[in-house]
Structure 1
Amino acid sequence: MVGVFRRSLSFPNKIPSRTSSKPSISHHIRSISLPCRSHPLISQLRDGVAELHCWATQPESRTSAWLADGLTRLKDLHDCLDDILQLPQTQESLRRQPNSVVENLLEDFLRFVDVYGIFQTSILALKEEQSAAQVGLRKRDELKVSLYVKARKRLAKEMGKLITAVRCINGRSAPPLVCVGDAELSDGIGDVVEVTVTVSLALFNVIATSFGSKKSSWMGLRRLKKKKKAKKAMVEDEGIVEFQQVGAECVLFGLRKKSDEEIRKASKKMQELETCIGGIEICGERIFRGLINARVSLLNTLTM
């Protein structure tokens, strides 16, 4: 006799809780809009912008060290921006935008490049006149010293033209990026452009004020729509301390009547000024190269 076997069903000993909010199968969700809010480069960029705004509003006396610090910070900020622009996700984000958006950015950076190229040329010309003036100072040659005085005034006028050019950059308004996920990237690039305008106006204004008439003011910064308190503080500035000290103490005329001690003191001040200008020249050169790198990265976005 054959036994009859019933089919049986087996159930797990533990019944999963119905109230559990965790799904049985996990899915990995990847963001498609990088760099995102948590990206360290975006945070670094934002911190750099904030630090430069604080630098621009420092109430202490303007010195060459203060100016070099601001230019160095700006160079680091542009390096950070270039690192962001090198990211494939950033390039993909920019390609989604209308060509006019990237083209406007390219135009802004081209103007920055032109401005800092002219600045470098002007600083080099001043250095040459200053070297000749130091020789003339030791030989009591008033002609060479007077040429240096004219070069200082000429530099101040050239800085005024650069101020006007930078204000034009600040007045440009690029269309917003079309994707919501790209808003932070757009804000970051816009902040870099804005703070570059602020630092550039600070640079050109203090040099114009130091080497030109004291009536030179921070008129360029008054046109900015933001940071009104920062602009008010900058208007009261009177230029770089070391530059003005040389202008006051280096008795530029009547050299034949001055004592040897007065000539030695004046020569020492001229050497100190040469060191200060050399430091500013190096910082300006670094910013110039950083601007070129950022523009090349933007240009690659259109051509790739």
Structure 2
Amino acid sequence: MVGVFRRSLSFPNKPNSGRSSPPSKPRISHHTRSVSLPCRSHPLISHINNEISQLKSWSSAAAGEMTDGFRRTSAWISDGLSLLKDVHETFSDILRLPQSQESLRNRPIFFETLLEDLLRFIDAYGIFQTSILSLRENNSGSQVALRKRDDAKITANLKSRQNLARDISRLTPSIRERKTTKHNFCHVSESKSYGDAELASVIGDVIDVTVFVSVALFNGVYFSFRQTKTTPFIGLLKRSEKKVRTGEGIEELRKIDEKSMSGLRRKRDEEVKILIKRTVELENSIREIECGSEKVFRSLINTRVSLLNALTH
């Protein structure tokens, strides 16, 4: 996002070949100007493009899950959140560049839509943080209920967990309602430089990967904990759709369901111990996702602050 520059080079006079005689006149420098060449991209642009490329590779793994046997795990979700956090940290640095700030100030409508999209992301992750904390507390309550073989408490916890998962699923439509695109950036002004085009491309890609990772996160939790009720009719007509949606769940979060937790008083001690072990593993997975999403939440806030600073400077 740096404009065209001209380079100035200096070439001193060639010294006299004679060693003993001093030069007849002082050396002077001849200045010549090179042809005008566009500058290379700012290093931050190359850096964020590399990070975005890594995120796209991460997402392409899930795209081929039905044929390649890909499994969505909490580790996979956490990797995506970590990559997204890195993208927004670099994006925040790009927004602090004077060239970026000037370009955005010249496009007030686009500026406002980008602020709105970032606020929507922040709100969604803030709600998710509250819900994922409640899910972790719910799971801790289930561990106590398992040790006491309290079927009534387990049933109540499972119902509460499903309600929390449903609340998380409502975040997905909001995330997908983005307004910021690189085309909007380029069309709001007739003057468009190479730097503007680069910035527009970066902003569009950042919004795209943010939406994809967020949808994978929210849907992953929802499809892991939702209550599944099927009928033979649905099984015959919507088998492929059910298969895709089941695949959107997170593996570790799907290990404990209503069927495995029912009838605790009739289960053997070994069976209950296995269930308790699974709830401990589930808690670790929830903590891992909670930690990753919190880092994204903070990086989104920093990105929006950097964008607001562009308006005030």
TM normalised by structure 2 equals 0.76
Q: CA deviation at 1:266?
A: 0.4
Q: What 5-or-longer segments of structure 2 have no aligned partner?
A: 1-15, 17-29, 230-242
**Aligned partner (choices 136, 149, 168) of residue 145 of structure 2:** 136
* 1:41 CA displacement: 1.1
**Distance change >3 Å, CA 132–CA 50, structure 1 → 2:** same
Quote the sequence identity (%).
Answer: 47
Per-residue deviation, 1:196: 0.4
Which stretch of the first structure deviates more once superposed, 111-120 or 176-185?
Answer: 176-185
Cα deviation 1:113-135 (Å, max 9, x = unaligned): 00000110110111111111111
1:247 deviates by: 2.2
SS of residue in 2 equivalent to 1:89: helix
> Does the 8 Å CA contact 2:154/2:261 hold for their aligned counterparts?
yes
Gaps of 5+ in 1: 1-12, 14-23, 216-232
Which residue of structure 1 lines up, in the alignment, with residue 56 of structure 2? 53
Q: 1:205 corresponds to which residue?
A: 219
Distance change >3 Å, CA 298–CA 234, structure 1 → 2: farther
Question: Does structure 1 retain, via aligned residues, the 8 Å contact 2:125–2:293?
Answer: yes
Instruction: Give, in whole Å, the separation in 1 of the partners of 2:41 and 2:107.
Output: 26
Report how many residues are paired: 262
Q: TM-score, normalised by structure 1?
A: 0.78
Distance 2:50 2:152 in 1: 50
Give the whole-Å Cα distance in 1 for the aligned partners of 2:54 and 2:293. 19
1:92–1:252 CA distance, 2 compared to 1 (3 A): same
Counterpart position of 2:196: 182
Aligned partner (choices 29, 32, 37) of residue 26 of structure 1: 32
In structure 2, the residue matched to 1:301 is: 310
Letter matched to residue 301 of structure 1: A
Choose which of 14, 37, 45 in structure 2 pairs with 1:42: 45
**Distance in 2 between the 1:27 and 1:172 partners?**
41
Alignment of 1:1-304 (within 5 A): 24-27=30-33, 37-58=40-61, 59=65, 60-95=70-105, 97-169=106-178, 173=181, 175-177=184-186, 178=189, 179-180=192-193, 181-213=195-227, 237-247=247-257, 251-304=260-313
Contact 1:56 1:234 in 2 (8 A): no
Q: How many angstroms apart in 1 are the aligned matches of 2:271 and 2:254?
A: 17
Residue type at the aligned position of 1:52:
L
Tell me if the contact between 1:129 and 1:147 (Cα under 8 Å) persists in the aligned partners.
no
Structure 1 range deviating more: 288-297 or 134-143: 134-143
The 1:153/1:39 distance shift into structure 2, 3 A limit, reads: same
Q: Equivalent residue of 1:61, what SS? A: coil
